[in-house]
Structure 1
Amino acid sequence: MKNEFITEGKFSTIALRLVAARFIHKNEDEGVLEIDRIARGVRSQVAMQYLILWAALMLATSFFLIFALAAITLVFVNEEYGHVAGVIALLQFAIVIGILSYWRSLQYGGLTVGKPQPAIYANPEDPAAQNLERLFTELQKESTPRAFYRSRNGVKRYVDERYFFGALRVALVSKNPELRDMFFPPIGVWFSRELFMEVDVSALIVKAKAKPNAAGVKKTYDYTDAAMSLIEHPAIRELDPNKRGSQMLVKGLLHDWYESNRQTPPGETQLALYAKMILDVIRKNRAR
């Protein structure tokens, strides 16, 4: 893995993603894998909502452009029709602004950025996520060295600590393009620059009271715990075990459970077997 180190005086310049990896795990490569796992979980939490908003945004933008063009054209033909088209275009523009404002409010608790919001995680109790939050807590302080990105001409552009106030701050250390596209900065819309820091990472870890994991990712497949976790799951309660696609649904739930509990998910064949066993139990219980 490419390591982004550039020695500059007392500290080293290091990619923020790698700073986060060291907060999570003493083995940097393991830490990066954990970040990717956490990012996938965050993305799964907001993907559907973002997709709906994105579709609505594209639709409203298209209507705005259509009616704006119609207004410009019709005003020379029929002034009254041109004004009507103009009003509709303004309404569509208002919808576009409303959608963007809504997504921003979801991240920052409002249109203005006042204080750090609870971060979105698939499993907030995950030790890796908690260590990541310890890093973000430090980054939210004015006293912490600021993260920065480099412009196209190589100039450093420091980012405000409020960049780390949003609920989707995990996107700032993720390489998942879909998750990064969901992030709105405190000013403007969309920000996907790679961030760096000039910092003594070890000292920052001590200051944040983080406890990077020293062990490898758990490799065992704990079927019992995974199955028990699904007992009260809303999707399982509403599941028809005889309906087509039910096994695929259970497989997906099992896969998510393993990842959220920092376990390597079994292969597709093993997951399918586990899902079949769970469906068999559901059928027997409901037949009584």
Structure 2
Amino acid sequence: MTSRYIAIDWGSTNLRAWLCLNGTATQSRHSQQGITRLNGQTPQAVLAEMTHGWCDSDTPIVMAGMVGSNVGWKEAPYLPVPVSLNGIADRLTHVTGPVWIVPGLSVNRGDNHNVMRGEETQLLGAHQLAPSSLYVLPGTHSKWVQADGDRITDFRTLMTGELHDVLLRHTLVGAGLPPQIIAPQTFTVGLERGLNDPAVLPSLFEVRAAHVLGALPREQVSEFLSGVLIGAEVAAMAEAFPGQQAITLVAGDSLAARYRQALGTLGRKVTVVEGDTAFQAGIRSIAYAVAI
């Protein structure tokens, strides 16, 4: 068992690093040099800058996320489901020296083609902290993951967060809007719309029409749209994964509150695990499980 290691969450647009001693993150660093934003530097150089002063040549570095994609540092092949979360540590991809990449997971069948990178590490931690048969990881690309014990059997991805951003920034829905404000009551109205009618396409232009006609305050369009999209996501996935009453939600406070509200409306019991907490628990078990 190693008492000192470095955990890396290296996505497309951001890079986060933690120095961990005896299983606890003691220092952290953040950079916007995601794997698609290296600004001409090599991944090796960026990693060396991020970990400067933290390690010697023998300190294990375990990395998860898009760093292992086909546009990353070195491709870490996807593990097809069904797959045991506890077996992930046996399938790391070696990069150089004591540097390793965690593999992503995939589904490849006629009715579902899906991939994830980074979330598998959160899932491993969430399974240890709040085991469930259904995990929800909301965000830019929300993941709904079905499990049987420690085995991941299926998952779906919904582009809820990205769609919200695109609609507000790059379509007529958000054109000419003033700065947006937090408005819980407006979010709830949108949420009810999405839950009751998850066929969301007809509702999207109505968001635009509603604020043009004065039925929706222009500074609350983001909240209403968020409610519609999250409601539609939750309603659709509740149908895709029926009978799952207990759910582990892996998210930060803001998103956790919104999804807890949506799932609670459908009578689902929710346990929340903070995203970074899940990641740290997952990558700690990987670092401890492998002889590196």
- TM-score by length of structure 1 reads 0.23
The structure whose residues are more often strand, as a share, is: 2
Higher RCO by CA contacts (8 Å cutoff, separation 6 or greater): 1
- TM-score by length of structure 2 reads 0.23
Please identify the structure whose Cα radius of gyration is greater: 1
The structure whose residues are more often helix, as a share, is: 1
